């Protein structure tokens, strides 16, 4: 299976657009993330509406038109070499019908984000381009995992990671390969049966989640089952399940890999035989290691658990 198109590697001095396609963000929440870009030799170019605010049932960084304008500028401006999102939240679904890839197709660039940005990554995947599911530049919620940022920059500079993952008791042994797809489960679920959904056949699916009731988690898993996703994928990787159910009421207790959420997932996929890797360090957690959406990947689950791009 042919990989999606990888953008050219970044060089020192390249310009990275920083945008907020979903929720609003404050300048102090990006200070550390922007400093990391600058200290690594890149120029951060801020979107016009990066620090905007538009409250309409949710605190967006701008109107749909404003956010789309920033996204299309970042994707298509020939002076921009990569796009790094400030945060997720909610709002990227508003933008996909109006995304313009005319300039992007001539000069592809890395798009970096996670959470709600899964929507944009699925869009890019459907159009043949790889992206990076990794830490946004907002660092206030989960801190700064310097290694996670470093690995993301390594990918953008042309190096791909090889991961060794701690064995988990719920793992299902085996090997699988295919395109890496996925991200936040709520958004994978929200895109099902739309033209913007991932293509699941023979893919290695990654999912992570935050702040959902357990019945809502099961509802999303049932939607994937009923739509045939689990019949099509070649392997499954589970990342962070953070602040689930009652934990969301107790912010001082942050379980990165919620045990009961993992149990529910294991039960829901028990009738399938694809290999399963639990506890991968990606999601709404401190140790957020980047994944390359659209890359060919090999997963091996056994006494040793590895993921290679």
- Domains belonging to the chain, first-starting first, are 15-156 (3.40.50.10740), 162-308 (3.50.30.60)
Give the residue carrying structure tokens 């159009």: 127
pLDDT tens-digit readout, 171-183 = 999 999 999 999 9
Across the chain, mean pLDDT equals: 95
CA-closest candidate to residue 66, choices 94, 107, 29: 94
pLDDT at 140: 64
pLDDT tens-digit readout, 237-275 = 999 999 898 665 655 545 799 999 999 999 999 999 999
pLDDT tens-digit readout, 59-113 = 999 999 999 999 999 999 999 999 999 999 999 999 999 999 999 999 999 999 9
Quote the pTM value.
Answer: 0.96
**Nearest-5° angle of CA 269, CA 217, CA 278?**
50
């Amino acid at each position: 299976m042919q990989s999606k198109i990888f953008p050219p590697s970044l060089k020192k001095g390249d310009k990275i657009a920083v945008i907020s396609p979903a929720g609003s963000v404050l300048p102090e929440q990006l200070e550390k993330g922007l400093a990391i870009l600058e200290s690594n030799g890149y120029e951060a170019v801020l979107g016009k509406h990066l620090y905007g605010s538009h409250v309409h049932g949710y605190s967006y960084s701008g109107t749909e038109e404003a956010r789309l304008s920033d996204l299309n500028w970042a994707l298509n401006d020939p002076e921009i070499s990569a796009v790094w999102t400030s945060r997720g939240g909610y709002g990227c679904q508003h933008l996909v019908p109006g995304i313009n890839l005319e300039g992007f197709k001539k000069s592809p660039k890395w798009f970096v984000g996670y959470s709600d940005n899964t929507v944009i990554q699925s869009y890019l995947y459907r159009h043949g381009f790889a992206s990076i599911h990794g830490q946004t530049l907002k660092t206030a919620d989960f801190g700064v995992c310097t290694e996670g940022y470093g690995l993301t920059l390594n990918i953008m500079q042309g190096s791909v990671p090889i991961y060794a993952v701690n064995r988990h008791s719920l793992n299902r042994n085996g090997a699988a390969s295919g395109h890496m797809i996925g991200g936040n489960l709520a958004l994978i679920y929200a895109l099902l049966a739309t033209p913007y959904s991932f293509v699941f056949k023979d893919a290695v699916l990654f999912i992570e989640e935050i702040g959902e009731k357990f019945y809502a988690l099961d509802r999303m898993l049932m939607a994937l089952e009923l739509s045939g996703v689990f019949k099509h994928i070649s392997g499954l990787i589970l990342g962070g399940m953070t602040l689930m159910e009652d934990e969301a009421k107790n912010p001082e207790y942050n379980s990165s890999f919620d045990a009961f959420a993992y149990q529910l997932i294991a039960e829901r996929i028990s009738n399938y035989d694809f290999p399963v890797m639990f506890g991968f360090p990606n999601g709404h957690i401190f140790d957020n290691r980047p994944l390359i959406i659209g890359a060919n990947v090999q997963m091996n689950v056994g006494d040793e658990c590895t993921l290679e791009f």
